[in-house]
A and B are shown apart, each in its own frame.
Chain A
Amino acid sequence: MDLNFMIQILPRLLRASLTTIQVSLLSLLLGTLFGLLMGMIRVLGPRFLHPFVNAYVTFVRGTPVAVQIYAAFFLLPRIGLNWSLFEISVFALTFNSVGYQIEIIRAALQSIDKGQHEAAAAIGLGKWKAMWLITLPQAAQRMIPPLTNELANLIKASSVLSIIALYELTRAGEAIIASTFRYAEVLILMSILYFLMIQSLTEGSNYLEKNVFNFRTSRIKTRKIKQPAG
């Protein structure tokens, strides 16, 4: 193993890692936006829309991400969209992620205690207001762990984008191997970089879950309950 070689290729791999993170995070966030919309439709929306949402979920889950990426790559230009490789990549991964996020979001929304909905109804809140003010904020906390998992999946799935030549980490590694044939060093560095990306994003979301969304313990430090005298 050649440390000097590794140090020499590190900047290239780091720059490609940045693309990996950008594609994955952007797809996660866009996926959450559409996932929330479709998840809420699935929970509260008119019944005739449910089969469409279900069909979408079944389709995404039933086809390989490589096929979805190829489809985006070849079909988007056919319908007149002249998108960059990066945009096509974000589209493909978002399309994929929405299929998984709908189920994550639906499960979290439906896990909120029935009593919360009844209390909301009893003070005269309509179902969409109750969704926005009561259900969604509480479900948000429960969505974070599975969404973190989804982000890790997206980072790994983004390596498949190398098939349409997006210059992300896997593509960059492949290119270096093709020109130098020194696969051991490249693969070790790639593994470490993927691991670090996934690990740091996971830690970040753990922090979010514990400190920002945790309404059971956060905000007020003292958990002691002052009992009235008597």
Chain B
Amino acid sequence: MNMNGAHPLLKVKNLTKKFGDHFAIKEANLEVMRGERVVLIGPSGSGKSTLLRCINYLEVPTSGTVWLDGEYIGGRYNDDGSWVKDSPSQLTKKRQHIGMVFQSFNLFAHLSALDNVTLGPRWVLNMPKKEAVEIAQQLLEKVHLEEHSHKLPAQLSGGQQQRVAIARALAMNPKLMLFDEPTSALDPRLTNEVLDVMLELAEEKMTMIVVTHEIGFAREVADVVFFLEEATIVESAPPALLFSDPKDERTRQFLVDCNILK
């Protein structure tokens, strides 16, 4: 519990993911409050994506737990303290509370922007079509794409595709949004239209964890920034502090390499 008495929405405990003998993320601990905006930074291969993907179990952790709003993702503890793994359908059900936005957009290629957004509400939440379409249209408006709702992904620019992807994730009314380098595949102008949408979300106090190289975004939006290196969370601090006066030498070096610190 923190000072204002808020409970964490997400608790990641001792999370480790190994590929073979190789640690992709090691003993990561992370707590995110409701409405908190977290940014993960770190060099390539430091385990940012792995940490994010373990949170919604797209990657099954080797050990450690992920707890979201009252339940563990991927399993639960029995009364006698033993761990029971989730069945695929239980896991599927829990995943719907976590929205995810990918670097490569991953829009459903055969469906229009509108159908991409309605698919989750209709087939996961079993919402009537009319209601799902209404919600989808509102969300497409929110990401400034109401005029493109009938278009297929191949007919949209990268920035537009990514905004549809954000709308698709929001349509499930998630408790938590994960963004894995959402603008890395975009040129600067398209990057800004996506960041603008994310900024609006942040202002609405959407709980989010964002992996990004956009330091400007981190400065403006993040409540706390985590720095990862070599599969470990090295340190975390509010951006004003972390970007000006990091405690750890490795963080300092990274920020110098990125021309953020002198």
Contact = CB atoms under 8 A, between A and B. Distances in A.
Interface of A: 113, 115-116, 118-127, 129, 133-134, 137-138, 215-217, 219-220, 223, 225-228, 230
Given A115-B102, A215-B152, A220-B151, A124 B108 contact: no
Nearest to B93: A124
Interface string B94-131: 01101110101011111100000001100110000000
24 contacts: A113-B106, A116-B108, A119-B100, A119-B102, A122-B56, A122-B58, A122-B100, A122-B169, A123-B96, A123-B120, A123-B169, A123-B172, A124-B92, A124-B96, A124-B120, A125-B123, A129-B123, A129-B124, A133-B119, A134-B110, A215-B110, A220-B151, A225-B155, A226-B148
A118 B102 contact: yes
B123 A133 contact: yes
A126 B89 contact: yes
Given A124-B92, A125-B120, A116 B155 contact: no
Given A124-B172, A126-B92, 4 more contacts: A113-B106, A124-B120, A134-B110, A220-B150
Contact of A124 (B95, B104, B148, B189): B95
A104 to B, nearest CB: 19
A31 to B, nearest CB: 24
B172 to A, nearest CB: 6
* Of B106, B111, B144, B160, most A-chain CB atoms within 10 Å: B106
A42 B101 CA distance: 30
Interface of B: 56, 58, 88-89, 92-93, 95-96, 98-100, 102, 104, 106-111, 119-120, 123-124, 144, 147-148, 150-152, 154-157, 160, 165, 168-169, 171-172, 189, 193
A221 B92 CA distance: 37
B193 A228 contact: yes
A226 to B, nearest CB: 8
A116 B110 CA distance: 11
The 5 closest A-B pairs by CB, nearest first: A124-B96, A115-B106, A119-B106, A123-B120, A122-B100
Contacts of B102: 115, 118-119
Contacts of B165: 119
Nearest to A123: B120
Contacts of A129: 123-124
A120 B119 CA distance: 9
A126 to B, nearest CB: 5
B144 A122 contact: no
Nearest to A132: B123
Given A115-B106, A118-B58, A123 B168 contact: yes
